[in-house]
Structure 1
Amino acid sequence: MPSPEARATGLRTWAAFTAMCLGMFMAILDVQIVATSLPEMQRALGISPDRMSWVQTAYLIAEVIAIPLTGALMRILTMRGLFALTTSLFTLASIGCAASESFGPLVAWRVLQGFAGGTLIPAVFAAVFLLFPVHRQGLATTLAGVLAVLAPTVGPVVGGWITESWSWHWLFLINVAPGVLAVGIGATLLPRERLRLAEARQLDLAALGLLALSLAALEIALKEAPGRGWTSGLVLALLALWAAAGAGFVRRCLSGPRPVVELRAFADRRFALACVLSFVLGIGLFGSVYLMPVFLSFVRGHGPLEIGTIMLVTGVAQLLTAPLAVAAEQRLGARLLTGFGFALFAAGLALSSFQTPRTDHDEMFWPQVVRGVAIMFCLLPPTRLALGHLSEARVADASGLFNLMRNLGGAIGLALIDTVIFSRSAGHGESLLTRLTARDLEAARFVGVPEAMLASLPPGPVPPQAQAMLAPLLEKAALTQAINEAWGMIALLTLAALLCVPFARPSRGQDRAAPVTPPRASPRRSPTPRRR
Structure 2
Amino acid sequence: MSKQHQAADATPGSVVVWIGFVAMCVGMFMAILDVQVVATSLPTIQSALEIDPDRMSWIQTAYLIAEVVAIPLTGFLTRSLTMRWLFFTVICLFVIASIGCALSGSFGELVAWRVLQGFSGGTLIPSVFSAVFILFPNERQAVATTIAGVLAVLAPTVGPIIGGWLTQTYSWHWLFLINVIPGIVSAIVAWRTLPRGTVDRSEIVHLDGLSLVLMATALTTLELSLTDAPTSGWSSVYVSSLLAVFLASGCIFVWRSLRRSRPVVDLSNFGDRNFLVGAILSFILGIGLFGSVYLMPVFLAFVRGHNALQIGTTMLVTGIAQLVTAPIAVALEKRTDPRLLSALGFGVFAVGLAMSAFEDPRSDYDALFWPQIVRGVAIMFCLLPPTRLALGNLLPERVPDASGLFNLMRNLGGAIGIALIDTIVYTRSGPLAQSLWDRLQSGHADTAAFVGAPVRTIAGHTGAFDVDTTAMLDPLVQTAASVQAINEAWLVVAILTGCAVLCVPFAKRVSPPR
- 1:14 aligned partner, one-letter code: W
2:162 match: 158
Give, as a single letter, the amino acid of the residue that structure 1 aligns with 2:504: V
Residue 198 of structure 1: CA displacement?
2.8
Q: Distance in 1 between matches of 2:209 and 2:153?
A: 34
Maintained 8 Å contact 2:429/2:484: yes
- Structure 1 gaps of 5+ residues are 512-528
Shift of 1:5: 12
Partners of 1:169 and 1:391 lie apart in 2 by 44
Superposed counterparts of 1:84-483, under 5 Å: 84-455=88-459, 459-483=462-486
Aligned residues: 510
CA deviations 1:267-301 (Å, max 9, x no partner) are 11110011111001000010000000000011111
Matching residue of 2:67: 63
SS state of the match for residue 419, structure 1? helix
Q: State the Cα deviation string for residues 284-322 of structure 1 (Å, max 9, x = none).
A: 010000000000011111111000000000000000000
Contact in 2 for aligned 1:8/1:133 (Cα 8 Å)? no
- How big is the shift at 1:224? 0.5
Question: Structure 1 counterpart of 2:333, which letter?
Answer: E
Runs of 5+ in structure 2 lacking a partner? none
Q: Distance in 1 between matches of 2:513 and 2:142?
A: 14
Alpha-carbon distance in 2 for matches of 1:267, 1:2: 27
RMSD: 1.4
| Aligned residue number for residue 486 of structure 1 | 489
Structure 2 contact 357–486 (Cα < 8 Å) conserved: yes
Contact 2:295–2:486 (Cα < 8 Å) also in 1: yes
Give the whole-Å Cα distance in 2 for the aligned partners of 1:21 and 1:178.
Answer: 11
* Alignment-mate amino acid for residue 418 of structure 1: D
Q: Deviations over 1:312-356 (max 9, x none)?
A: 000000000000000000011100100000000000000000000
Which residue identity is paired with 1:46?
A: E
> Residue 331 of structure 1 aligns to a residue in which SS?
coil
How far the C-alpha of 1:454 sits from its partner, in A, is: 1.7
The Cα shift of 1:4 comes to 7.2
CA deviations 1:201-237 (Å, max 9, x no partner) are: 1010000000000000000000000001000000000
Give the counterpart letter for 1:231 in structure 2.
S
Q: Distance in 1 between matches of 2:42 and 2:6?
A: 47
Percentage of identical aligned residues? 60
Matched, 1:501 2:507: no
1 CA distance for matches of 2:12 and 2:158?
A: 30
Question: Equivalents in 1 of 2:222, 2:242: separation in Å?
Answer: 7
Q: For 1:400, what is the secondary structure of its paired residue?
A: helix
Return 95-104 or 193-202, whichever deviates more.
193-202
Deviations 1:41-95 (A, max 9, x none): 0000010000010010000000000000000000000000000000000000000
Mapped contact 1:5–1:132 kept (Cα < 8 A):
no
CA distance 1:450–1:261, change in 2 (3 Å): same
The alpha carbon displacement at 1:462 in A equals 1.6
Q: Distance in 1 between matches of 2:115 and 2:11?
A: 35
User: Secondary structure of 2:499's partner?
Assistant: helix
Name the SS of the counterpart of 1:449 in structure 2.
coil
Alpha carbons of 1:27 and 1:531: their partners in 2 closer, same or farther (altered >3 Å)?
Answer: closer
Work out whether residues 5 and 133 of structure 1, in 8 Å CA contact, stay in contact via their aligned partners in 2: no
